[in-house]
């Protein structure tokens, strides 16, 4: 999504558009497995306005994300709900006294008249993703012995895992 800086006025204007997530799908490859995938474009809703040479973009990104759980390997879908507040200043005017507060406020630079929002929005999407995909905080994962998904079933190995070494000893005694 591109905007012309000279058309951005002090009075806020609203912009709603769909940001393609195609390039993100390739980015998030983690070895062989993609941690996160985007089945569709993200919906971006924002207000934009200027104060002098500084341009402000404040809004929200929504859209489905498919995560691949790092523990149980199941797919799960969640909504990417990300608020953002971007401030763009001209590259020629490096501000010495800009106060940054909170992590919702991000300062970037623009050069010339054309503002390309897409890379900034994609960066916000990446920032919104959890560091590790988990279908739920208490996901029990897979049994290391039989591979059963312990969220949905209790396998025999879990039931006897406490005394598996004793079982080996018992078998030895039987054998001797
Ligand atoms: Zn899981
Ligand atoms: Zn098992």
Residue 112 DSSP one-character state: S
Q: Which residue has the tokens 């489905």?
A: 64
The residue ranges of the chain whose pLDDT is under 50 are 104, 161, 175-176
pLDDT on residue 105: 61
- State the distance from the centre of ligand 1 to the C-alpha of 61, rounded, in angstroms: 25
pTM of this structure: 0.77
**Nearest Cα residue to 129 out of 34, 32, 46, 15:** 34
**Nearest Cα residue to 157 out of 145, 140, 139, 169:** 145
Secondary structure of residue 172 in the 3-state scheme:
helix
Strands (E), the chain: 2-4, 13-19, 29-30, 33-34, 36-37, 42-51, 54-62, 64-68, 75-79, 82-90, 105-110, 114-116
pLDDT on residue 92: 75
pLDDT on residue 44: 98
- State the distance from the centre of ligand 1 to the C-alpha of 66, rounded, in angstroms: 12
pLDDT on residue 32: 61
- State the distance from the centre of ligand 2 to the C-alpha of 156, rounded, in angstroms: 6
pLDDT more than 70, % of the chain:
78
- State the distance from the centre of ligand 2 to the C-alpha of 160, rounded, in angstroms: 9
């Amino acid at each position: 999504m591109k905007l012309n800086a000279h058309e951005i006025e002090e009075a806020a204007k609203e912009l709603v558009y769909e940001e393609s997530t195609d390039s993100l799908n390739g980015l998030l490859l983690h070895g062989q497995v993609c941690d996160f995938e985007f089945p569709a474009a993200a919906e971006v809703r924002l207000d934009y306005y200027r104060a002098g040479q500084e341009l402000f973009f404040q809004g929200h990104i929504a859209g489905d994300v498919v995560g691949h759980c790092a523990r149980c390997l199941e797919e799960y879908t969640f909504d990417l709900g990300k608020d953002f507040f971007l401030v763009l200043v001209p590259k020629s005017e490096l501000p010495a006294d800009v106060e940054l507060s909170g992590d919702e406020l991000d300062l970037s630079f623009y050069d010339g008249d054309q503002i390309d929002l897409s890379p900034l929005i994609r960066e916000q999407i990446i920032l919104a993703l959890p560091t590790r995909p988990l279908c739920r905080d208490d996901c029990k994962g897979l049994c290391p012995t039989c591979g059963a998904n312990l969220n949905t079933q209790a396998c025999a190995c879990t039931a006897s895992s406490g005394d598996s070494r004793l079982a080996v000893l018992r078998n030895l005694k039987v054998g001797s």
